Amino acid sequence: MEVKARAPGKIILSGEHAVVHGSTAVAASISLHTSVFLAFPSHSGNDDTLKLELKDMALEFSWPVGRIKEALAEFSSAISSSPTSCPAECLRSIGALVEEQNIPEARTGLASGMSAFLWLYSCIQGFKPATVVVTSELPLGSGLGSSAAFCVALSAALLALSDSVSVDMVHQGWSSFGEKELDLLNKWAFEGEKIIHGNPSGIDNTVSTYGNMIKFKSGSLTLIKSNLPLKMLITNTKVGRNTKALVAGVSERTIRHPDALNFVFNAVDSISKELSAIIESPVSGELSITEKEENIAELMEMNQGLLQSMGVSHASIETVLRTTLKYKLASKLTGAGGGGCVLTLLPTLLSGTIVDKVIAELESCGFQCLIAEIGGRGVEISFNGASS
């Protein structure tokens, strides 16, 4: 028995940082995915091991199922087939299982993701042998929702081969879950995210689960349907950043300059609302698409200027902005800032030659460039080896 699931990453189109201070923000799925392949051994085999293979990193970990069961024996009452938070004591036991593995020193950040894997697997599938293979098009730790995409794809694969959901196993190619199943899946993925991040907002896993776009403000999430095909160049500066420190920096600046920053946050709120209205409104003809793209480009540039005034830009981000501006393209940082990724809108009528030139120039600076469609489908599953 086997299944493959894939879940998209995410970007923040507008409103990062300001959302912490009550402004509206808009997030969207991107056509870059994390995929999870799950296979159970045949009954004739005697393999009693749970294997986790991280293919992109050429890493493989394994646990005897009996060892997992023994480690979690005293927490059997906490392990549930409905979405459940991992108790602190249980998380320590899972952490011990992870520590038994030979994780390379440069990859110690994987430990929390492996803990999330063991919790979700044990809850949804119980203590049984299997092979789980993970591949991803998303760079880790760059603000593109790689951990959420992993939790969503993993939850999807585990649930698809459980009794908790009803799915069509004979469908050819990729298929989606029903609304009820998506809600369950999203709750499980959120529990995984909590193990990885402690206190996540739930935005990343929700975007990855449902796809399309989400408008959020003061803890309230609203799914929005995009009527506009958008394509972005995503430039990964490869500069690490401390999200908590950046968020704290904006708050400290707000204390020093409350009036000025409140005007900034209100402006960001207006930009997010206008952006979502443009995206949701019907499209009629090429001219309408071009006009909408021009308006979105202006809003992105304005949002970037406001993010700079919050103090969350970085020399690497400014290099991307200068490079894309030479080609009259609009860019803005996405996520925490201080490095991370930068979005550049690629208009429908832009020539491929220009795109190639921009990418070549950015890559010569040591940056990684990815092209993605924005606001596409959420998590999907396949039972027959779908590859695209």
Catalytic residues: 204
Q: Do 348 and 283 contact (CB within 8 A), yes or no?
A: no
Instruction: Give the DSSP letter of residue 195.
Output: H
Q: Do 204 and 145 contact (CB within 8 A), yes or no?
A: yes
CA distance 346 to 246: 28
In sequence order, the β-bridge partners of residue 334 are 341
| HEC profile of the chain | CEEEEEEEEEEEEECCCHHHHCCCEEEEEEEEEEEEEEECCCCCCCCCEEEEEEHHHCEEEEEEHHHHHHHCHHHCCCCCCCCCCCCHHHHHHHHHHHHCCCCCHHHHHHHHHHHHHHHHHHHHHCCCCEEEEEEECCCCCCCCCHHHHHHHHHHHHHHHCCCCCCCCCCCCCCECCCHHHHHHHHHHHHHHHHHHHCCCCCHHHHHHHHECEEEEECCEEEEECCCCCEEEEEEECCCCCCHHHHHHHHHHHHHHCHHHHHHHHHHHHHHHHHHHHHHHCCCCHHHHHHHHHHHHHHHHHHHHHHHHHHCCCCHHHHHHHHHHHCCCCCEEEECCCCCCEEEEECCCCCCHHHHHHHHHHHHCCCCEEEEEEECCECCEEECCCCCC
